[in-house]
Amino acid sequence: MQKYENSLEFAKKKDCEDVLRDIRERFCIQENTIYMDGNSLGLCSKDAKEALYHVIDMWEKHGIGIWDIEDSKYFLYQKVLGEKLAQLINADGDEVTVMTNTTINIHQGISTFYKPTQDRYKILVDDLNFPTDRYAVDSQVRLKGYDPKDAVKVIKSSDGNFISEDSIIEGMTEDVALILLPSVLYRSAQLLDMERITKEAHKRGIIIGWDLCHSIGAIPHDFKNINPDFAVWCNYKYLSAGPGAIAGFYINKSHFEKEPGLAGWHGNNKDTQFKLLNEFDHEQNAHGWQTGTQPLFSMAPLEGVLNIYHEVGMEKIRAKSLDLTAYLMELVDERLVKYGYKIGNPREDHNRGGHVCLEHEEAYRICKALKDHGIVPDYREPNVIRLAPVPLYVSFEEVFRLVEILEEIAINGEYEQYSNKRTLVV
Ligand SMILES: *Cc1c(COP(=O)(O)O)cnc(C)c1O
């Protein structure tokens, strides 16, 4: 069934009808560049820049007084941002905070919840998650004296692209204490049914945490229904909060009284924090999981860009994202499959994330050629070109042009002039 037409006029018409088309101007679009890498590092926006410059100005003007101005906004900045982020996943405002990076937040979540006993000591993961999640899990079981080979239960993909939800659920045996899974797989863009998996885990008394790195800002989540125990994510991918931006942390309100695994003075109750007592009295909400002083400069851009997200709303963002990726897939089927390209992501809307996973034997060298044509793709071993048409700043016309260039590169074989030697950041 064809929904789209293979012509530049059609792409332009889609852009005219696009309800998000004016939002693109809020972003700093690079000249002569088609940016398809927003799932690795989202583009800078004018709103993010302004928010950051404002904080620098306030520091310049007030010195240490920055903590008090604007009703202590910056002393409580993690609350301001937590409230705003919570809306993207339909969580309560105080169930979300921002701190450190995703990896440390995984350590925070696991060290809070992982209380292994003789019979129940395993952590369940999948073999397609981003490696840092696995490194964190392995080190957490080692800290408790276990061997990851025994205590980390890995659900294997049968084809290297997808994870079967049924096999995850079958893996929830009585020796499993905790589960950590990605909402969307970073390579194949498979979106897991988080609600189903979470409910199955809870039926068996297993704690479950989700890594939203590849869905936050691309897919709306309904945490009131999913109801997981904890979640983590980075804010620099789709959400465009800047390189190394502060990360997100969600903890279900039913766990607010739990002792944080990694404690620090900024997790203390605000009323007594500056009494500087030796006893830790942690705040009974997500901010109780804070550790040290919050890095304002890695937070401010997030405030700026979240204003854009709130203006638009996640529903419209997801609708355009699905439209863009469906359009891209249809053009691939029509024009590129005959040149050895293959779609490696799920096709259905309900289990497809925000990017298209385009496979090709020569993916690495094709990515190099794409860059010389002003296209920023993202290569993932061994054969994947990830293409993320971020709905806030990518147009249908750009998707059309991307496909034309992918076709041209394959026809004239120009990728052959590039070396296959990998660089530091592929
Ligand atoms: C991008 C990504 C990370 C990044 O972790 P940081 O600690 O923020 O660098 C972690 N997990 C997944 C699944 C990711 O996609």
HSE, side-chain direction, 13 A CA sphere, residue 388: 28
Please indicate if the annotation marks 173 as binding a ligand.
no
Q: How far is the CA of 70 from the centre of ligand 1 (A)?
A: 33
Q: How far is the CA of 236 from the centre of ligand 1 (A)?
A: 10
**Ligand 1 pocket mutation, candidates 39, 106, 234, criterion most atoms within 8 A of CB:** 234
Which contacts (CB < 8 Å, 24+ apart) does range 161-166 have?
161/128, 161/187, 161/188, 161/190, 161/344, 161/357, 162/128, 162/188, 162/190, 162/346, 163/126, 163/128, 163/190, 163/192, 165/192, 165/193, 165/196, 165/197
Predicted confidence (pLDDT) at residue 61 exceeds the cutoff of 80: yes
Regarding whether 355 and 281 lie in a shared domain, the answer is no
Does the beta carbon of 164 lie inside 6 Å of ligand 1? no
43 domain residue, yes or no: no
Task: Please report where in the chains the tokens 């620098």 appear, as a residue.
Answer: 56
Regarding whether 297 and 183 lie in a shared domain, the answer is yes
Percent above pLDDT 70 for the chain: 99
pLDDT at 9: 97
331 domain residue, yes or no: yes
CA distance 279 to 294: 21
Contact 186, 130 (CB under 8 A): yes
Regarding whether 146 and 113 lie in a shared domain, the answer is yes
36 domain residue, yes or no: no
Does the beta carbon of 108 lie inside 6 Å of ligand 1? no
Q: How far is the CA of 154 from the centre of ligand 1 (A)?
A: 19
Distances (CA, A) of 48 to 32, 141, 307, 389, 393: 22, 38, 9, 20, 14
Does the beta carbon of 136 lie inside 6 Å of ligand 1? no
HSE, side-chain direction, 13 A CA sphere, residue 6: 11
- Residue 188 structural domain: 49-311
Does the beta carbon of 380 lie inside 6 Å of ligand 1? no
CA distance 29 to 21: 13
Domain boundary among 311, 342, 365: 311
422 domain residue, yes or no: no
pLDDT at 1: 55
Residue 53 binned pLDDT confidence (cut-offs 50, 70, 90): very high
2 domain residue, yes or no: no
Model confidence over 361-386: pLDDT tens digits? 999 999 999 999 999 999 998 999 99
Task: Collapse the DSSP code of 27 into the 3-class scheme (helix H, G, I; strand E, B; otherwise coil) and give the result.
Answer: strand
Ligand 1 atom at minimum distance from 214 CA: 15
Q: How far is the CA of 274 from the centre of ligand 1 (A)?
A: 33
Q: Is 43 left (phi over 0), alpha (psi -120 to 50) or beta?
A: beta
CA distance 351 to 333: 19
Regarding whether 273 and 149 lie in a shared domain, the answer is yes
Regarding whether 386 and 359 lie in a shared domain, the answer is yes
Ligand 1 atom at minimum distance from 234 CA: 8
Regarding whether 323 and 176 lie in a shared domain, the answer is no
Which residues are CB-neighbours of 251 under 8 A, at least 6 positions away? Answer: 95, 109, 112, 229, 230, 286, 289
Predicted confidence (pLDDT) at residue 69 exceeds the cutoff of 90: yes
Regarding whether 350 and 338 lie in a shared domain, the answer is yes
Closest C-alpha among 292, 348, 293, 356 to residue 324: 356
Please indicate if the annotation marks 243 as binding a ligand.
no
Regarding whether 250 and 386 lie in a shared domain, the answer is no
Q: Give the chain's mean pLDDT.
A: 96
**Total domain count, the chain:** 2
Task: State the first-to-last Cα distance of the chain, in angstroms, to the nearest integer.
Answer: 36
pLDDT at 426: 64
Length of the chain in residues, anyone?
A: 426
Regarding whether 382 and 361 lie in a shared domain, the answer is yes
Q: How far is the CA of 161 from the centre of ligand 1 (A)?
A: 18
Model confidence over 256-306: pLDDT tens digits? 999 999 999 999 998 888 888 889 999 999 999 999 999 999 999 999 999
Q: What is the CATH number of the domain that holds 112?
A: 3.40.640.10
Regarding whether 26 and 64 lie in a shared domain, the answer is no
Q: What is the CATH number of the domain that holds 19?
A: 3.90.1150.10
Predicted confidence (pLDDT) at residue 425 exceeds the cutoff of 80: no
Residue type, 394: V
Q: How far is the CA of 401 from the centre of ligand 1 (A)?
A: 30
Regarding whether 377 and 237 lie in a shared domain, the answer is no
pLDDT at 260: 97
- pTM for this prediction: 0.97
CA distance 58 to 70: 10
Predicted confidence (pLDDT) at residue 248 exceeds the cutoff of 60: yes
pLDDT at 285: 98
Which residues are CB-neighbours of 238 under 8 A, at least 6 positions away? Answer: 38, 39, 42, 214, 215, 216, 217, 218, 354, 388, 390
Domain boundary among 311, 336, 357: 311
Please indicate if the annotation marks 211 as binding a ligand.
yes
37 domain residue, yes or no: no
pLDDT at 36: 98
Closest C-alpha among 371, 359, 356, 357 to residue 414: 371
Regarding whether 164 and 76 lie in a shared domain, the answer is yes
39 domain residue, yes or no: no
Give, using CA atoms, the residue closest to atom 15 of ligand 1: 213
Give, using CA atoms, the residue closest to atom 5 of ligand 1: 102
Predicted confidence (pLDDT) at residue 161 exceeds the cutoff of 60: yes
**What phi and psi values does residue 99 have, to the nearest 5 degrees?**
-170, 155
pLDDT at 305: 98
Ligand 1 atom at minimum distance from 211 CA: 13
Please indicate if the annotation marks 214 as binding a ligand.
yes
CA distance 38 to 304: 17
Does the beta carbon of 182 lie inside 6 Å of ligand 1? yes
Residue 104 tokens, joined: 């440390």
Peptide bond into 389 cis (omega under 30): no
Does the beta carbon of 103 lie inside 6 Å of ligand 1? yes
DSSP string covering 303-314, please?
Answer: HHHHHHHHHH-H
99 domain residue, yes or no: yes
Domain boundary among 252, 277, 311: 311
Please indicate if the annotation marks 378 as binding a ligand.
no
Q: How far is the CA of 66 from the centre of ligand 1 (A)?
A: 31
How many helices (H) and strands (E) in the chain?
A: 15, 13
Ligand 1 atom at minimum distance from 104 CA: 7
pLDDT at 257: 97
CB atoms within 10 A of CB 272: 12
